[in-house]
Amino acid sequence: MIGIMKKTLTVSLVALIFVICLSLNLNAVEKKHLIVIDPAHGGQDAGVKLNDKTSEKEITLAIALALQKELASENNIEVILTRNSDTNITIDERKDNILKIKPELLLSLHLNAGFGKEANGFELYYPGFKDLAENKKAEKNSPKNKINKYLNDSVRLANLIKRNMDTLFPRKSRDLRVADAPIIEGLTLPALVLEIGFATNQEEKKKLLSESTQNEIAKALAKSIILFYR
């Protein structure tokens, strides 16, 4: 009798452990890193003009869509775009949306312009999280260690992007810097603004307009994001 009870108990215990392992495993599979990609500009806000037909808004959207496609096969990553088409969305609307989505990461895409025709290369900005207390939209009383983690994550992703973008848009003098671009100002999450290249530089403009280079940029960004979560 005791032998049977012991056996039943062992079988039940094994079954219980099996169920626990299974549910833990399922949780691991279901846990996705939610990231927001922001193709800057859109609608009436065209951004920098590259030629009669194409402006910054089209290129940021094309790259964002290609990036989403690149990451679609990654089981642990889910990408949401702030816009999927040529629509006019204000910075505040984008930010409100981001606050609702609560992503783990935000990457905003722009093209650079100006600083003379020679200016070239990509540029990355990340938030310094300095004047959070003054911003109403900021998550109130975020603990310091959380802010430090956001900062570390932003820099870590920026370094990965740097490494993977360098072959496409070699940097000469531009680099990583702390700057509160409007889209990241006051948001408390790992965030980056990437100015992909200069629309005012003839050579880079040609690259930015090329669909194959746009896809290469998307691939470089996807690779960086995948490595970030590895």
* Site residues (vs Zn ion, CB under 5 A): 40, 47, 110
Least distance between Zn ion and beta carbon 30 (Å): 36
- Cβ 88 to Zn ion shortest distance, Å: 14
Nearer Cβ to Zn ion (40/61): 40
CB of 108 to Zn ion, least distance (A): 9
- Closest-by-Cβ residue to Zn ion is 110
Residue with smaller CB distance to Zn ion, 94 or 110: 110
Handedness of CA 84, 59, 219, 95 (dihedral sign): negative
- Residue number with CB closer to Zn ion (50 or 132): 50
Shorter beta-carbon distance to Zn ion: residue 40 or 79: 40
Closer residue to Zn ion, CB minimum distance, 77 or 183: 183
Q: How far is the CB of 202 from Zn ion (least distance, A)?
A: 19
CB of residue 55 vs Zn ion: minimum separation in angstroms?
10
